[in-house]
Amino acid sequence: VIKTAHHERFRYDIDAPAVDVALATSAAPTYFAAAPFLTHADASYVDGGVWANSPVMVAVTEAVAFLGIPLDEIDVLSVGTTSTPFNIAAHVQSGIAQWNAGLVELMFEGQREADLAQAKLLLNGRLHRIDVTAREGEFSLDDARPEKIQRLINLGRAEAVKKKNLEAVKARFLNRVAVAAFKPFHQPAG
């Protein structure tokens, strides 16, 4: 996990070039090779979705454990990248070959659902999730055709102007309550 220097212990990643971070976060192993990370002893990284497809609980845990923020002061805005319902019924009588095609997606969706369910319980109403449910097969990581990108943009814009999202975001996150500016504990070399 690549981290900013938001805690005294987090020194390892401060010299990582942004391009390496971007390549690592884009290295979804079902589509792309692991990304080399030359500043990290010849390590290679894959997309964080393998470990935390939905990172809400990672963020909440870091805020509480490392930053000492009381849980009851945390309000989370979680913006998804679309989700697709997984049809388990279609696989009930399937063997390994048929399951294999959807197994990675099932694991990603399972982690996402578990993460969000845990966060909802802990945050007690202080989690606002914005996401769109897409039709099965509508989008895939390896399909960057302009019409697909435009469809994603249109879905995002439509979701952004929904009354429930506008009201929640304005009231809870754009409420003119001052927050401390981020000041890293460590600075990159050079």
Q: pLDDT (tens digit, 0 to 9) for every residue of the chain, 190 residues total?
A: 788 888 888 887 888 888 888 888 888 777 778 888 777 777 888 877 777 888 999 999 999 999 999 999 999 999 998 888 777 776 677 777 676 767 777 788 888 899 999 999 999 999 999 999 998 889 887 789 999 999 999 999 999 999 999 999 999 999 888 888 888 888 877 6
Structure confidence at residue 57 (pLDDT): 94
Q: What is the pTM (predicted TM-score) of this model?
A: 0.82
Alpha carbons 69 and 18: distance in angstroms, whole number:
28
Alpha carbons 150 and 152: distance in angstroms, whole number:
5
Residues 6 or more apart in contact with residue 38 via CB below 8 angstroms? 20
Mind spelling out the 3-state secondary structure of 117-174? HHHHHHHCCCEEEECCECCCCCCCCCCCCHHHHHHHHHHHHHHHCCHHHHHHHHHHCC
Q: How far is CA 85 from CA 90, 116, 119, 155, in A?
A: 12, 15, 20, 17
Alpha carbons 165 and 169: distance in angstroms, whole number:
6
Other Cβ atoms closer than 10 A to 47: 20
54 exposure class (CB count in 10 Å sphere: 0-12, 13-18, 19+): buried
**Residue 17 token pair:** 């070039």
- In sequence order, what E strands does 47-142 have? 76-79, 127-130
- Tell me the sheet residues that pair with 130: 79
